[in-house]
Structure 1
């Protein structure tokens, strides 16, 4: 086990489970993860390997005997008849038969209907009346000569849901974990390996959980296929309900006026709409109107009487085009059905999660570590729905007074949700609050900026906040920094078809982030020392998770004409880091004249325990450069004092980098091909800064 896994088991014994066990017991059972983890939590909530193996066999035996496969429904029905009573695990729903004035259950997999249910059971579990609920049930069979009497009887039922949890203990134990450890624990709890995600990517995954922890929260996520958008709503919690976007109706969602029965919003914490996007899809105007009213006011009409509910909405769908295409030709909501591509509906969304920043889910992303039993965490999050943590921001920062009350509410709800998830104990620092505040404001700004494109009556809004020092800090979205030539165009169309528009950068002073035009020039093809390029000093900051960045664009113009380039980076150690060094050299070979000679010298630190491999790889760069006009050399910093990461040329430029050449997120080992492996512009970057400084030129 990792140190984190040991710590998790030490502090949350009995409430965590090894996440890869779900796959070990699932087999061909089509059952949500929370059902399996409920069973695993009964028998495998330990770090003792022998007990885990025994528990796995017990859970497998329970599933084998009691989980109903549709293909074996007839056999189970026969078993119930022969024994008179039998325990099954199935998805059960209940309806009222008005002709007989009695409740009747339907067992989804077992395939039996009109199962007699007493009213006490229905009152104890009202969700059964709304949709299917996974349960462990005792079913009885008593044949009667009365033709209208069903032989099936629901004797007892237990929804698969963990017993009452101790929230105070959960909150107190949080203090034993650092912020990074706690975020990683939450990541493992939803099934992912934290080490393959950057900080921002982790926070975006946690953003998906806010509807479970915030009442009446409206989230939308649009992005490419295969990024796991609907997974958390179908597998994570028994308090969430995932429905297809095409299945939305007023009676199902809100209220059936013919019988007065309340819909999904009255019984579930989260209602998620899967496959919500699709321009060809249509929606009932009355449904759209009632949804807009509910999203804004938390109420809907039951006949003439308004009713309130607390369900959060989450809309997930696939985009047809990439981000620059949408920004150039339409807007980031272009994939929505026409009836929902409506400014009033969009304005009621509290946050837009950029699905294009989330990587396609692959097998190597799933964790084998420990995480909370999802049902345990679901109960904790449900408890937190009644609290409001948004006021924790006010002791550090003040959100701009220029934004609307709806914007302010959206930011506050997102902030409250993130604080509940990561700092339930209130241990957040000023820097951590600022990180979450920027994400919350960005998530709402993405909505508001697109509204300005869709509806000209919406003014552009200055999204900023002010710290205790009184200095204004602007907020931008990642795609705003990445595609400035398209982002600020109203009307959804751009006449400029330039594909070589310069990379736009965000210039940030220590206290006052501001947007500036212009960037280091980018030369294409072979660059000559005589070529004149306008280069300026400056400090540039790049947001995590953006693409379109390369060594060519960052460094190329500043290195043109140099005959000596010295790279100081103590962390050119691992294979992918040494590959970065090789790609830096390749960039120089592409840019220089064939007849020119250039020396490139690397100063780095030794990879303790694997120095021989590091030497071999670095020497291979030297050998590869033979005959190229580049002379590559390297040396270890023997003094151990070289913590700087910079690039210095003999033409008078010093480029300071807080991450050195390690600006790209590490590749995830996988078979096959990806553009990110071949082209730097298609790789996701880490957050980093670069500073260009003129120094005295030292030829030779």
Structure 2
């Protein structure tokens, strides 16, 4: 056990968990994200970190079914079913009925209804919900078809983190220890020989920026095998991953034909993975909607104007030369045509150059202590609504009057996200070490926006590659 292992276990005795690849092998064939796996391992582990495999397997078999389960037939036979699962809720204005689907076991939205009592409790919302559900089968009289009814729902939220305690705990770690700690919370090994520097580690945790900062928009281009998909698919129930298929304005924002909100209003962040494989319908319509939303976090559909805090990250592969640098110097040409519009690209705050990140190897898999993923993701979600961090960042910076507003907004938003990740315990500029802020928050934020501006200038002569002369103020805390 390393010194950092001991510190994590001592500082977070209830919230930490010992992770090994062999433990996760217990979930082979079970399609559940990391925040569910961690919760189950913690639930069935003793003080010596030994897992009661028999009890865990019994829980999986009873409460986490797969697509080949016989739940539908058991419901029809009159059995009441209780499972831990992902439920997608939709409202039908024409009938006044709330419908649900459970894709993981093949229950479609025309086969499921939610009882009025469950909707009145307020514990379940439109869109995706993770929780423990109780299902019964209803066979109405007459010609109406039978359906599964959701009669009980308990949200999966095993932790309500004490944020003050989390902040107090931060003071017991050095900044470099905390960076390693955050990498562990992402389920990776910060001591891996794959990591060559703390600059590289800082770039690696940049993938978490949209987890804690609202309306942050990022592009990441990276070679295959660098772990892009895993992080956005497994670390939080508050995000949504689009992988392939067709994306339209209705699917993303609001479907006026069915009066249903799209993906963006229902999540805290949306990742478009393997973006070259996604088909974008009516590109001009989608471009217009994205430009408005990425600019101010709102969109108009018909007579309704709605807002959302969801950030957007585009994840794409990029071909490298023998020196592991992009063959195509025009990075954004690696994106689908809908994102070739420079006015749209200008609304992305920063870019992650994924070719500087390590390829995922066995050595990068964590063997040690970290925070339970569910606890960590709840902390990041809580930080989204905390305005003090942006205020601190703004007070720390000298911004010229002639600075481009989009550049300024991007740098502040990115630096704020870094501050939340790395220095959650600060409450004012007096708590901030100027040099650490410049190294770990401002410079990486500035560089990520600089990449966007440089690429815009290559693609469109209207854009200058010159960045505003924004600096960190010359006082120290």
Same fold per superposition (TM over 0.5) = yes
Query: How do 1:233-382 and structure 2 match up within 5 A?
Result: 233-244=232-243, 246-277=245-276, 284-322=283-321, 330-382=329-381
- In 2 relative to 1, CA 245–346 (structure 1 residues): closer, same or farther, beyond 3 Å? farther
Equivalent in the alignment of 1:636 = none
Q: In 2, Cα distance between the equivalents of 1:350 and 1:35? A: 32
State which structure, 1 or 2, has the greater radius of gyration over its C-alpha atoms.
Answer: 1
Aligned-pair CA distance for 1:279: 11
Highest relative contact order (Cα 8 Å, sep 6+), 1 or 2?
Answer: 2
Does 2:93 correspond to 1:89? no
Query: How do 1:47-86 and structure 2 match up within 5 A?
Result: 48-49=47-48, 52-54=50-52, 56-71=53-68, 73-74=69-70, 76-80=71-75, 84-86=79-81
- In 2 relative to 1, CA 266–112 (structure 1 residues): closer, same or farther, beyond 3 Å? closer
In the alignment of these two chains, the number of paired residues is 462
- Write the deviation string for residues 124-173 of structure 1: whole angstroms up to 9, x where unpaired: 2554x33x433321122355554424253222122323342211111112
Q: In 2, Cα distance between the equivalents of 1:217 and 1:16? A: 29
Equivalent in the alignment of 1:413 = 413
Question: After the TM superposition, which of the residue ranges 138-147 and 293-302 deviates more from structure 2?
Answer: 138-147
Equivalent in the alignment of 1:169 = 165
Q: TM-score, normalised by structure 1?
A: 0.62
Do the aligned residues in 2 keep the contact of 1:441 with 1:463 (CA within 8 Å)?
no
Equivalent in the alignment of 1:187 = 183
Aligned-pair CA distance for 1:401: 5.1
- In 2 relative to 1, CA 399–211 (structure 1 residues): closer, same or farther, beyond 3 Å? same
Equivalent in the alignment of 1:27 = 28
Tell me the SS of whatever aligns to 1:412: helix
Tell me the SS of whatever aligns to 1:339: helix
Q: In 2, Cα distance between the equivalents of 1:65 and 1:248? A: 36
- In 2 relative to 1, CA 22–146 (structure 1 residues): closer, same or farther, beyond 3 Å? farther
Aligned-pair CA distance for 1:400: 5.3
Does 2:151 correspond to 1:155? yes
**Which blocks of at least 5 consecutive residues in structure 1 are unaligned?**
471-700
Aligned-pair CA distance for 1:363: 1.8
Does 2:439 correspond to 1:440? no
- In 2 relative to 1, CA 150–2 (structure 1 residues): closer, same or farther, beyond 3 Å? same
Equivalent in the alignment of 1:687 = none
Aligned-pair CA distance for 1:467: 5.3
Q: In 1, Cα distance between the equivalents of 2:322 and 2:406? A: 26
Do the aligned residues in 1 keep the contact of 2:264 with 2:310 (CA within 8 Å)?
yes
Q: In 2, Cα distance between the equivalents of 1:157 and 1:105? A: 12
Across the aligned residues of Structure 1 and Structure 2, the Cα RMSD in angstroms comes to: 2.7
Tell me the SS of whatever aligns to 1:14: coil
Equivalent in the alignment of 2:466 = 461
Equivalent in the alignment of 1:429 = 433
- Write the deviation string for residues 270-324 of structure 1: whole angstroms up to 9, x where unpaired: 0111122469977521011101110001110021342211111111111134498
Do the aligned residues in 1 keep the contact of 2:222 with 2:353 (CA within 8 Å)?
yes
- In 2 relative to 1, CA 66–143 (structure 1 residues): closer, same or farther, beyond 3 Å? same
Equivalent in the alignment of 1:451 = 456
Q: TM-score, normalised by structure 2?
A: 0.88
Q: In 2, Cα distance between the equivalents of 1:98 and 1:391? A: 42
Q: In 2, Cα distance between the equivalents of 1:8 and 1:38? A: 17
Equivalent in the alignment of 1:207 = 206
- Write the deviation string for residues 524-549 of structure 1: whole angstroms up to 9, x where unpaired: xxxxxxxxxxxxxxxxxxxxxxxxxx
Tell me the SS of whatever aligns to 2:187: coil
**Which blocks of at least 5 consecutive residues in structure 2 are unaligned?**
none
- In 2 relative to 1, CA 319–64 (structure 1 residues): closer, same or farther, beyond 3 Å? same
